[in-house]
Amino acid sequence: MTAEPTGAGGVLEGIRVLDYGRFIAAPWCSALLADMGADVVRVEKRGGGEDRWVQSVTESGEGGTFLQCNRNKRSLTLDTTTDEGRQISRKLVERADIVVANMPAAGMRASGLDYDTLRAIKPDIILASATAYGEGGPYSDRIGFDGAGQVMSGAVYRQGLPEQPIRTVVPYADFGTALTLTIGVMMALYHRDRTGQGQHVEGALLPTALMLSNAFLIERDLLGTDKPRMGNQGASVAPCDLYRTKDDDWVLLQVAGQPMFKRWCRLVGRLDLFDDPRFADDDLRWKHGDELNAVMASWCAERTKADVLDALQAAKLPAAPMLSTREVLDDPHVQAMGYLQRVPFPGVGTGVPIVETPFRLSATPGVIRRRAPLLGEHTEEVLAEIGYGAADVDGLRRREIV
């Protein structure tokens, strides 16, 4: 079953996108374009892209990340290593506005997805490519996943336990690259509307990760020092940590600035700390953070999570409970805001909780119109749009082209 289309076509209605992406960076970019109304065709090899089957959660084998990153798309299977497959690709490019892919430049050229090849077919085409390290440097031909961006940006060097660096399990370099790539695509569309010219939009994991860890690099360059790894404690302020409560749960608190610090001192009954010169500003509080975090840890250990959160919220201090994955699904605010939408999928009776478009436009919001496609689900439909009849498609199937 497919989720029925709802609402207007979207701000990108009429824009055609060919998605040759895999895993996250390129597919999430094209998913956001699809949310906004673009017609996105995911082009897969006949056995399916590798990302389709990672961490399977459905009867047919699709993984959770695939379901998130490929909603609102149609699936075409195609063997692009054959002459007939390349001919079909050319016809698809002739009708497309945007091609999205993520692979090193050499792979793009081998697949006929490099910008020069594409614009020879369609002069105003926009190519959006995502790589690990960017084009033009000594690492450009290397492959890499999200973790490569994390560990090479300086971030992992600064995070974790004193004796153990820890990379973040959430693939923020991948998703961040998808977001920056999407911004670039929209800028390129705006430029094309004004000039009639296409262009190549490039995103990469390493510069995305560098963007997120840039303050660490500035600090190191100007001061010549690195702060130590401190677990969940703050990188520049205190008190800041995850604190265990009386009922064996966890609460996050982050205190920054003089007014907030004074409110915290009043809350924990330690106004003497506010006048202590060791805690006169954020830098000094971070330097002597062990003492402040110990005060907060003791205070939380005597109270339940609910009591801690009520008190912190009443004092206007930025705090939040640590939620399990189950608690996130059940959270009343997440449910009230509709951040996770139940999207039907074959064999999943309750539907799949898919995150909505992560930004909201008041007049032209993103919409999840359909679930992620089954492998090759729309092959006949897509080929019909470029002139292939049923008999043609049958022949292509016999010859294992689609």
User: pLDDT per residue over 58-105, tens digit each?
Assistant: 999 999 999 999 999 999 999 998 999 999 999 999 999 999 999 888
**pTM listed for this prediction:** 0.94
Contact 378, 2 (CB under 8 A): no
The Cα 29–Cα 185 span in angstroms is: 9
Domain that includes residue 248, residue range: 240-323
The Cα 95–Cα 386 span in angstroms is: 8
Output the domain CATH number for residue 256: 3.30.1540.10
Q: What pLDDT is recorded for position 106? A: 83
31 with 122, same domain? yes
- Per-residue pLDDT at 143 exceeds 80: yes
Per-residue confidence band for 5, with pLDDT thresholds at 50, 70 and 90 = very low
Strand, coil or helix: what is 340? strand
Contact 133, 145 (CB under 8 A): no
First to last CA, the chain: 23
- For range 255-276, the mean pLDDT: 98
- Per-residue pLDDT at 246 exceeds 80: yes
The active-site residue, picked from 174, 241, 249, 282, is 174
Q: Is 174 annotated as catalytic?
A: yes
Question: Does a structural domain hold residue 23?
Answer: yes
Number of domains in the chain: 2
100 Cβ contact list (under 8 Å, min separation 6) = 17, 18, 19, 20, 21, 26, 27, 29, 30, 33, 128, 129, 181, 185
Q: What is the mean pLDDT of the chain?
A: 96
Question: Does a structural domain hold residue 45?
Answer: yes
pLDDT in tens, 270-315: 999 999 999 999 999 999 999 999 999 999 999 999 999 999 999 9
154 with 301, same domain? no
Q: What are phi and psi of 128, to 5 degrees?
A: -115, 110
The runs of H, that is alpha helices, within 315-352 are: 325-330, 332-337
